[in-house]
């Protein structure tokens, strides 16, 4: 049997939620990993346990800025961009720049190193969809001048750059359109719905429901997403591929499950106005992922929430203990 060659893998945004899971997976497979992060939203605690691994390198760097990369690189995963609305809207120009200039810099690097590159795009390229399910050939319904445009349109231009470099410069590009993902190592203050609900419930606070709560999302557990990303990278597919869980839940249904899983007795539902351009519905068509990657989610929302709630409970206790020690 021929031994599998050790790869050199660069993960941009590697200290973030999804990126850190990728780093751990690749190190576990015996590959060399360079984690690149500017720590605007990445968390050092996500990769602290990896720092003593001789195959792991951590570089604080913003991909919007040029950088000389010594040595070979086999694969590049571009996970670098704030993904929660509260975070990407806090600096919308940098968000758009990360999607354009950051992706451009990594594509130039991929061309220089003859590396394969995967772009983490998003279901947000579909905007507030007028069709259900959302398949890869749906062109979307995006407001290009709204508060979410820096991210939605940013990810659309990053896809265009990937396509053009693949078509005209021969770069091996892959595009993953990621739907709502959750799980351990998502920051407690991330701002997305699962982290918000779980943290609020564990602290006994009211659960914030925007609008009527009838808007829907489809929740994919992190281990399922990571498997889909690595399968896509290993495939020959250059067109975008949806990665998400097609089982759909309303925000009210999610809130009910979270309250039950956390055992919260003090949390009630607190309704707030629906933010501008907030999508009413999200449900991926994963037919192409099933056919091309032989991939489909395996973790149910119930099982995934069990693991997620357990991690957040431990994280909140650790954060409180650290704050108490710091205050002494």
pLDDT of residue 258: 97
pLDDT of residue 279: 86
pLDDT of residue 4: 54
pLDDT of residue 254: 97
Given CA atoms 289, 286, 171, 222 in this order, what sign does their dihedral have? negative
pLDDT of residue 1: 38
Residues belonging to the active site: 151
DSSP letter (8 states) at residue 2: P
Q: Does domain 8-181+222-245+281-298 have CATH number 3.40.50.720?
A: yes
pLDDT of residue 321: 78
pLDDT of residue 328: 62
DSSP letter (8 states) at residue 84: S
Q: Domain extents for the chain?
A: 8-181+222-245+281-298
pTM, full prediction? 0.94
Q: Beta-strand (E) ranges in the chain?
A: 8-12, 32-37, 56-60, 75-78, 116-122, 173-178, 181-182, 207-210, 216-218, 220-221, 241-243, 248-250, 269-272
In order along its 328 residues, the chain shows pLDDT tens digits of: 344 579 999 999 999 999 999 999 999 999 999 999 999 999 999 999 999 999 999 999 999 999 999 999 999 999 999 888 888 999 999 999 999 999 999 999 999 999 999 999 999 999 999 999 999 999 999 999 999 999 999 999 999 999 999 999 999 999 999 999 999 999 999 989 999 999 999 999 999 999 999 999 999 999 999 999 999 999 999 999 999 999 999 999 999 999 999 999 889 999 999 988 888 888 999 999 999 999 999 999 999 999 999 999 999 998 887 777 877 6
């Amino acid at each position: 049997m021929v031994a599998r060659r050790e790869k050199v893998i660069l993960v941009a945004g590697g200290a973030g939620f999804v990126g850190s899971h990728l780093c751990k997976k690749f190190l576990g497979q015996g590959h060399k990993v360079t984690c690149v992060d500017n720590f605007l939203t990445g968390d050092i605690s996500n990769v602290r346990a990896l720092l003593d691994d001789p195959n792991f390198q951590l570089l604080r760097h913003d991909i919007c800025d040029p950088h000389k990369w010594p040595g070979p690189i086999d694969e590049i995963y571009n996970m670098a961009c704030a993904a929660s609305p509260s975070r990407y809207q806090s600096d919308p120009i940098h968000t758009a720049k990360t999607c354009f200039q950051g992706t451009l810099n990594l594509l130039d690097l991929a061309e220089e190193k003859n590396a394969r590159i995967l772009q983490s795009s998003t279901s947000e390229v579909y905007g507030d969809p007028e069709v259900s399910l959302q398949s890869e050939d749906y062109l979307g319904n995006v407001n290009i001048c709204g508060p979410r445009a820096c991210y939605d349109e940013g990810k659309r231009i990053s896809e265009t750059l990937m396509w053009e470099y693949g078509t005209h410069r021969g770069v091996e590009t892959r595009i993953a359109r990621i739907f709502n993902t959750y799980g351990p190592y998502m920051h407690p203050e991330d701002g997305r719905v699962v982290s918000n609900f779980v943290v609020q419930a564990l602290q006994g606070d009211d659960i914030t429901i925007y609008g009527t709560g009838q808007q829907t999302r489809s929740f994919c557990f992190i281990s399922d997403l990571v498997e889909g990303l690595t399968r896509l990278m290993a495939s020959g597919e250059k067109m975008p591929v949806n990665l998400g869980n097609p089982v759909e839940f309303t925000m009210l249904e999610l809130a009910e499950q979270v309250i039950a899983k956390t055992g919260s007795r003090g949390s009630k539902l607190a309704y707030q106005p629906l933010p501008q351009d907030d999508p009413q519905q999200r449900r991926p068509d994963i037919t192409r992922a099933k056919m091309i990657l032989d991939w489909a989610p395996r973790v149910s929302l119930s099982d995934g929430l069990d693991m997620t709630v357990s991690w957040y409970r431990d994280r909140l206790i650790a954060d409180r203990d650290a704050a108490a020690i710091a205050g002494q």
